[in-house]
Structure formats: C-alpha cells, structure tokens
Amino acid sequence: MADDFIIVGTAGHVDHGKTVLVRALTGVDTDRLREEKERGISIELGFAPLTLPSGRTLGLVDVPGHERFIRQMLAGAGGMDLVMWVVAADEGVMPQTREHLDIINLLRVKRGVLVLTKVDLVDGDWLDLVEEEVREAVAGTVLEHAPLVRVSAVTGQGIDDLREILDREAAATPPKEAGGLARLPVDRVFKVAGFGTVVTGTLWSGRLKVGQNVALMPQGLITRVRGLQVHGRGVEEGVAGQRVAVNLAGVEVGQLERGCVVTEPGAFAPTTRLDAELYLLPTARALAHRTRVRLYLGTAEAFGRVLLLDRDEMAPGETAFVQLVLEETVVAARGDRFVLRSYSPMTTIGGGEVVEARVRRHKRYRPEVLASLAVRRQGDPAALVRETLAAAAAPVSWPELAERAGIQEPDLRELLPQLVAAGQAEVLEAEGTRLAVAADLMRQWEARLRQALADYHRQYPLRPGLPRESLRSRLFSRLEGRQFLACLSHWEREGRIKTDGAFVFLADFSPRPAPEEEPWLAGVREAYRAGWQQPPDWHEVTVGLPAEKAEELLAYLVRQGDLVKVAEDLYFHREAVEAAQEQIAAYIRQHGGILLGEARDLLASSRKYILPLLEYFDRIKFTKRVGDKRILY
C-alpha cells in the first residue's frame, strides 16, 4: 500500500482542541514555535505523519484557528484531500469555525470528518444539541454528508473510532495526479546548517526527484534538487499527494517566500491576470466592479481587483465570470481553486475556480467572451481544445496546446484525430514539430491565399507564381516562418497549391503567354538562334514594347530555358550555350586548356561576347581559370 498520498488537515475555531487532537492521533506535538507554546495557540502550519489501522500513512496538516492567522490556514487548506472540521463540544460552532467551513466549501475539499472535541466536558443532552448545530451548519456544503465522531483527547474516547473513519474516508479519496507536471506550492522556507535552503509543501501533482532541475516561480530561478524528505525520511523521489521537504542547490533563503512554487522549467508562466468563476458568499456584502481584494491561491497571497465582465455589481450568493487583475505575479492553472477576502476588514467573501491562467484583457459585456469562459469552465477536453484553437491566432505546437487547454498530452493525441475527422481542426508538420490549428481559420487563410494567387496570376500570367516571402509578408505576417511553411505544405499535400523553389502558385496554373504574344516570342527565339555566338541586343528585339512588358517576356523566356542570361543585358540561345560548352570541353581535353583568344576563334565570335560567356562558365563551375587559361572544373 502506498503511503503519504493523501493529506488530511484540521480546520476550526481557535482553542477548539485541534492540536491536542493531532497529538492524540499521531503522538506528535505540532506546536513547534516557542511563541505557540507560550500562547497556547497554533500560529504556523504543523505537520505530522498519521498511521491508520490499515497501515496506510497519511500526511496530517494542523492549521491555525485564530482569525489573525487565516493566511496560514489557507496555505494549508489548499493542499488538503480530506479535512477534519473540529468543533469543541463546550462552545459549539463559533465565527472562525464558520469561516473555515466557508473556505473548505470554496476550495471544494470534497471529503471530511466532523469531529466534536472535548466531549468529556459536557453532558449528553448538551452534546446532542451541539451535534444538531453542527449538522445545521454543514447543510448545503461539501461536508453535508460527512461522518461525525465524538472524541476526547484527554480520556481517549472516540480516538480509535476517528482513526477507523479516517482510514475509510482516505481509502475513498482519489489520489492527486502523479503523472502531471511537478507542482509544489511552498508553505515554509528555512535554512538547515550544512545543507542550505529547504522548502516544504504538499506536492499537488507530478513527481520530484533528487538531482532534477526545477524552476522556482514566479521568481524564475532555475536550480537543482539536492535532497528530498518525506516526514523526516530521506527519499529519492517525492510523489503527488505527499508532504515534501526539498533541499535546493544554490538558492538563498532570502530569494524565496511562502507562495512561490517549485515546478519543472518551462511548465508554468507567472501571470498577473486570471479568468475565473467567482462565487460570492451569501454572508458577504455586494461586490462592485474593480473592488480591491486579497487572493489566496495555493500558498500564495496577492492583492488585486475583481473586474466584473457582465454586471456592475455582484450580489451575495451570486456566481459570475470575472477577471482578477493582480498586483503581484502568481502561478496558476485551469481548475485551481481560490479564496477571496476583502481588503479591509479582512473577511472571507468568496472564491471559485480559475478558468484560464494565460489571458488577455477582456472587454466587458461581450457575449462571445462569456461563451468562451463557459466552455472553459465546463472542462470538456474536446471543447477545451476547440476553444483554445479558436482563440489562437496561429498554429500551436501540441505541448503548448495541451498546456493552454489544461489537458494532458496523451489526451490531446487521442482527441486531435477526432477533431480533424469532424472538420474542426487541422494537424500540420513543421521541421519535425506537430502543430494544430482551427479548421475554420485554415479555411479562411486558404480562401485569402487562393484569391491572392488568382489575382497575381491574372496580373502576371507569365510569372511562375507569387514569391513565397512576399506572400507571407502580405497575408501571413503574424505567422512564424515554420508555421507559414507548415501551412503551405498542408495545402500542397491537399492539392490546393503548388510550390516551386521560392514561388507559390495555384495547382491548376502554369505560365502561358497570350495568343497574340506567341508569334512575337517565336520570332525572338529564332533571332537568338540565328545570332548564335553573337546574339542580338535585347533592347533591339523589344523595340515598340513597353519596358515592363518586355521584362516580363524576357523573364519568361529565361525561365522556360529558351534563353540563358550570361551577363547583365546579355542573353544567348540555350542551344548556342550548349554547343559552346561541347566545343570548349573538346578543345580543353585535347590541348589541356583554352585561352580567351582561342575560345573567340573556336566559336567564331568576338571578345565582346566570348569573355562574358567564359566568365559565365566559370560561375556555373563548368570551367576554372588558371592564370590566362581555363581548364575544365
């Protein structure tokens, strides 16, 4: 049986016996600070291993109950899988008991045990009244159907029953995601002599291994795991659900604080803006647009403002989509639960769920924004991928798409073929990287591309196509080079376009002159063939043609291979060039080389034509100049 994969925490009013209860269950006194001993209350989080009758070992978190230490309570509550909601029988449900219940409910700690402590101090009738009060308090909350146990840490009454109940509840509690990205919200930072900086927290997901490189966010520090401990035992690996102490290499205590996150490099980007679904407690005041609040997410606290997207004021008991604009950076992911407290006085006013952590500023009262948030809140993987692709302005790599959509890559690999088959997505290949893009966006781009190419072919019927980089700058300037090439490759495979070197053209297009141009082109070809090694001047054969038209026809003849550009404004017929190559090659083989004058006489031409022709042969690596002679390359 695996140990330490479930975290159980306490919650309840100050001095209701949480710490004494923990000591009775575990034998560990979690009041570790001298000030806590002197004052008799918990100030910081306390931790202890809890061994249950089945042999399962849980991680137990004892949180402060005093209202002044609510931040510490929230830091512990964020990692709880199972909660013991503690009520002292001699006092009943108190204000802090109710606030802790609100927090448990807002964080959706779905399993718990209701624990009545100090039962040795009251009689049976009073105890029945308190139990009835407890049941009324939890009605309509996540703890409504939680089991209840009466205990006394002094006499030991009910302690064994509590262990049995915790064992049963723990067995029914699903473990955290051990296969996801490593994510450890830090609740303590301290220094150990001879080891250096140590951080502790509950590993929310993934695994941490000794020697692994990790990122400390939002600080952006990259470091290495020197050592790991779980409940004082050195381990090689920490797994999601465990309380873990991490010894970090090369980091000073002053560089870190509660609220930072240990994760994998590149896994999470810090943000100051979150899209969220917010529930305002019925006991809270109405919340106005741009109200300043305190956000508690994981172990982090951040000040910020609530931007209401579809109303100017939120009434108590209402739920709405909001955007949280923060004054400090936080690390968040879709699905994270959070709590909001008022800026002053500090009371819990609501909480909810992060819908998206990588967001832009939204315009208010936009139906499409609210519809998008509703899809993301629903959390259906296929809908999330569709929505993420619809919001993307460019093809997205599969790992980035999985991160943006908040799903695992294996799920994405299964989903994308289904979306492609349904005509909702396209998969592209770019330099060995797979990209995905919304099918609607690809269709829009293709329509623009085909129109641009059709217009270009109509304007320049003799050109091979639109230059690729010109096409990108005109229509696809927002795409990176590899994204653009991936789109072109996709359309070419689909038979919509063709590419030839640096040119792009419609699949059914080929350069062709107008009927009235054919006789003129035939005449030009014949004039150059007749000129042979003393070709005519291009400007002479194009007399009477507009300069732009002449250039188009010349470029067409060169691309068709009828003419060869030997030098600026000097063209030879292809057959004349081929014949010259054969004659010069034969001469060099017989004589070991050829001089300029010898080439001139051999080809029955003049220096004006033969020198540029020989230099052209050098450029194409047919010949090579050695001194005054040329030899075969």
Contact (Cβ atoms closer than 8 angstroms) between residue 70 and residue 79: no
CA angle 246, 252, 254 (to 5 degrees): 110
User: Both tokens of residue 384?
Assistant: 């999330």
pLDDT of residue 75: 61
Q: Which amino acid is at 40?
A: G
User: Of 280, 277, 276, which Cα lies nearest the Cα of 317?
Assistant: 280
Rounded distance, CA 307 to CA 37, Å? Answer: 43
Q: How far is CA 153 from CA 25, 33, 361, in A?
A: 9, 22, 53
Mean pLDDT of 183-212: 90
DSSP state of 120: G
Contact (Cβ atoms closer than 8 angstroms) between residue 139 and residue 132: no
In Å, the largest CA–CA distance within the chain is 129
Tens digit of each residue's pLDDT (9 = 90 or more) over 460-509: 999 999 999 999 999 999 899 899 999 999 999 999 999 998 999 999 99
Worst-scoring range by mean pLDDT, 183-187, 380-384, 454-458?
Answer: 380-384
pLDDT of residue 504: 95
Q: Which amino acid is at 363?
A: K
**Non-local CB neighbours of 572 within 8 Å, separated by 6+ positions:** 528, 533, 535, 563, 564, 566, 580, 613
Mean pLDDT of 185-197: 89
Mean pLDDT of 564-578: 94
Position with higher pLDDT, 624 vs 36: 624
Tens digit of each residue's pLDDT (9 = 90 or more) over 208-242: 999 999 999 999 999 999 999 987 789 999 998 88
Q: How far is CA 529 from CA 337, 571, 575, in A?
A: 81, 11, 7
pLDDT of residue 74: 66
Rounded distance, CA 336 to CA 333, Å? Answer: 6
Helices 439-459 and 468-475: crossing angle in degrees, nearest 10, is 120
Strands (E) located in 347-415: 348-356, 396-397
pLDDT of residue 430: 80
Q: What is the mean pLDDT of the chain?
A: 88
Q: State yes or no: pLDDT of 37 exceeds 60.
A: no
Q: How many Cα atoms occupy the beta-carbon half-sphere of 487 within 13 Å? A: 27
Tokens 């209202």: give the residue: 67
pLDDT of residue 78: 61
Tokens 């029945």: give the residue: 128
DSSP 239-299: ETTSEEEEEESS--GGG--TT-EEE-TTS---EEEEEEEEEE-TTSPPEETTEEEEEEETT
Mean pLDDT of 69-78: 58
Q: Is the pTM of this model over 0.75?
A: no
Contact (Cβ atoms closer than 8 angstroms) between residue 563 and residue 554: yes
User: Both tokens of residue 432?
Assistant: 């060995």
Please, which pLDDT band fits residue 320 given cuts at 50, 70 and 90?
Answer: very high
Tens digit of each residue's pLDDT (9 = 90 or more) over 432-443: 889 999 999 999
Mean pLDDT of 330-346: 90
Q: How many Cα atoms occupy the beta-carbon half-sphere of 323 within 13 Å? A: 18
Q: How far is CA 80 from CA 104, 139, 155, 170, 287, in A?
A: 9, 21, 28, 11, 28
pLDDT of residue 17: 78
Q: Going edge to edge, which strands form the sheet with 433-438?
A: 396-397, 433-438, 425-430
Q: Above pLDDT 90, what percent of the chain?
A: 59
Rounded distance, CA 350 to CA 347, Å? Answer: 9
pLDDT of residue 71: 59
Q: State yes or no: pLDDT of 384 exceeds 80.
A: yes
pLDDT of residue 590: 95
Rounded distance, CA 311 to CA 325, Å? Answer: 17
Tens digit of each residue's pLDDT (9 = 90 or more) over 227-286: 999 877 899 999 988 888 999 999 999 999 988 999 999 888 899 999 999 999 999 999
pLDDT of residue 374: 87
pLDDT of residue 144: 94
Mean pLDDT of 185-195: 88
pLDDT of residue 344: 86
Tens digit of each residue's pLDDT (9 = 90 or more) over 398-418: 988 887 887 778 888 889 999
How many whole angstroms from its chain centre is CA 285?
36
Position with higher pLDDT, 404 vs 569: 569
The number of beta carbons lying within 10 Å of the beta carbon of residue 531 is 18
User: Both tokens of residue 414?
Assistant: 């299964």
pLDDT of residue 40: 36
Please, which pLDDT band fits residue 45 given cuts at 50, 70 and 90?
Answer: low
Q: State yes or no: pLDDT of 292 exceeds 60.
A: yes
User: Of 611, 619, 617, 609, which Cα lies nearest the Cα of 588?
Assistant: 617
pLDDT of residue 501: 87
Q: State yes or no: pLDDT of 168 exceeds 80.
A: yes
Mean pLDDT of 555-560: 91
Tokens 């500023």: give the residue: 361
Rounded distance, CA 431 to CA 426, Å? Answer: 17
Contact (Cβ atoms closer than 8 angstroms) between residue 439 and residue 425: yes
User: Both tokens of residue 465?
Assistant: 């196509």
pLDDT of residue 406: 76
Q: State yes or no: pLDDT of 108 exceeds 50.
A: yes
Instruction: Give the phi and the psi of residue 556 in degrees, each rounded to 5.
Output: -65, -45
Rounded distance, CA 283 to CA 347, Å? Answer: 10
Position with higher pLDDT, 75 vs 547: 547
Contact (Cβ atoms closer than 8 angstroms) between residue 50 and residue 60: yes
The number of beta carbons lying within 10 Å of the beta carbon of residue 403 is 24
User: Both tokens of residue 407?
Assistant: 């799903």
pLDDT of residue 47: 76
* Three-state SS annotation for 181-219: CCEEEEEEEEEECCCEEEEEEECCECEEECCCEEEEECC
Rounded distance, CA 536 to CA 551, Å? Answer: 16
Q: Give the chain's end-to-end CA distance (angstroms, integer).
A: 76
**Domains of the chain: residue spans and CATH:** 7-171 (3.40.50.300), 183-263 (2.40.30.10), 271-370 (2.40.30.10), 380-512 (1.10.10.10), 515-632 (1.10.10.10)
Worst-scoring range by mean pLDDT, 61-75, 162-176, 310-324, 465-479?
Answer: 61-75
Q: State yes or no: pLDDT of 520 exceeds 80.
A: yes
What is the bridge-based pairing of β-strands 196-202 and 243-248? antiparallel
Q: State yes or no: pLDDT of 581 exceeds 50.
A: yes
Q: State yes or no: pLDDT of 195 exceeds 90.
A: no
Residue 82 forms beta bridges with which residues?
A: 8, 111
Rounded distance, CA 439 to CA 515, Å? Answer: 41
Q: How many Cα atoms occupy the beta-carbon half-sphere of 30 within 13 Å? A: 29
Please, which pLDDT band fits residue 34 given cuts at 50, 70 and 90?
Answer: very low
Q: State yes or no: pLDDT of 31 exceeds 70.
A: no
